[in-house]
Amino acid sequence: METIVAVLAGLLVAGGAYLMLSGNLVRYILGLTILSNAANLVIFAAGRMAKAAPALTAYGADAPAAGVANPVPQALILTAIVIGFGLFCFALTLAYRAFYAMGTARMDAMRIAEPREDRG
C-alpha cells in the first residue's frame, strides 16, 4: 500500500502545485489545501503503514500487544491537520482581504507592495 500512497502523494502534490500556480487566489487556496493533505500522507507513509491494531493499550494490559501501528507519525499528523486547518483559515481570510482591498483575485495584478516601475 505504501507504493500506492507514494503515487497518490505525488499526484496530490502535482495537482496542488498546478492549482497554486494558476494565478487565481481562489484556486490557490484549493491547491494549498490539497498540498497540506499530501504532506500529511507523506508523513504517514514514511512511518510505515501496516494493517495492524491501533496504538491502544488494551484494558487490563500494561502495554499494547506487539505489532500495533506506529503512534509517532499519527501524533505528528494529528496536530499537522489542525495546524493545517488554522493555516487554511488564515489563507482564506487573507485571500478575501486581498480581493477586498485590490478588487481582483488575479495574483499578477496585485502590485501594491512592488508597483510597476516606469522604466523604458
Partner 1 sequence: MNSIILRTGTRALIPVFLFVALMTLWRGHNDPGGGFIGGLLAAICVALIEKAFGVAQARRWLILPPMMIAGIGLSCAILSGLWGALANGWFLSSVWPLYANVDGKWEGLAAGSILLFDSGVFLVVVGVVSAILFALEEAGVPESRKDEP
Partner 2 sequence: MQQTVPYEAGPWRFLPSAVMAAAFAWFATFLPSASAGQTAELVFPWVPTLGIDIAFRLDALSLLFSLLITGVGAICFLYSAEYFHNDRRLKRLLTLMVLFAMSMLGVVLADDAVTLFVAWECTTITSFLLVGFDHHKADARYKAQQALLVTGMGGLALMAGLIIMGTVAGTFRLSEMADFAGFTSDPLYPAMLILVLIGCFTKSAQFPFHFWLPGAMAAPTPVSAYLHSATMVKAGVYLVARMTPMLGGTEVWSWTLSLVGATTMVVASFWALRQSDLKLMLAWTTLMGLGALMLGLGGGGYYAIGGAMTFIVVHAFYKAALFLGVGLLDKGAGTREVGELGGLRGAMPMSFIIIALAAASMAGLPPFVGFIGKELIYEGALHATTEEIFVLTMAVTANALMVAVALVLAIRPFFGTFRAPHAAPADPSILMWGGPALLALGGLGLGLVPGPFGALIGQITEIVRAAPGAPELKLWHGVNGALMLSLLTFALGGVFFWGVPQLRAALIREEDRVPDSAAVYDILLNAMRDTAAWVARTTQNGRMMSYLRVTFTTLALMVWGAIFVGAGAVAQIDPDIPLFHWGLVIAIAASLSTIIFTGSRLVAITALGGIGLAIAVIYVLYSAIDVAMTQLLTETLIVVFVAVAFTKLPRAGTGALRIGDAIIAAILGLGVTFALLAVLGSGLEQDVSAFYLEAAYPQAAGRNIVNVILVDFRALDTLGEVAVVLIAGIAALAALRAGREVKK
Q: Which residues bind partner 1 (CB under 8 A)?
A: 24, 54, 56-57, 59, 62, 78-79, 82, 86, 89, 92-93, 96, 99-100, 103-106
Instruction: Report the nearest approach of partner 1 to the CB of residue 103 (Å).
Output: 4
Q: Taking a C-beta distance cutoff of 8 angstroms, is the pair 43, 74 a contact?
A: no
- Of the pair 60, 120, the CB lying nearest partner 1 is at 60
Q: Pick from partner 1, partner 2, none: which does 32 bind, CB < 5 to 8 A by kind?
A: none
Angstrom CA distances, 67 to 2, 50, 108, stand at: 17, 9, 52
The residue behind cell 495537482 is: 15
CA distances from residue 32 to 21, 29, 74 in whole angstroms, order as listed = 10, 5, 21
With CB under 5 to 8 Å by kind, the binding choice for 36 among partner 2, partner 1, none is: none
Retrieve residue 20's grid coordinates.
497554486
Out of partner 1, partner 2, none, what residue 12 binds, judged by CB under 5 to 8 A for its kind, is partner 2
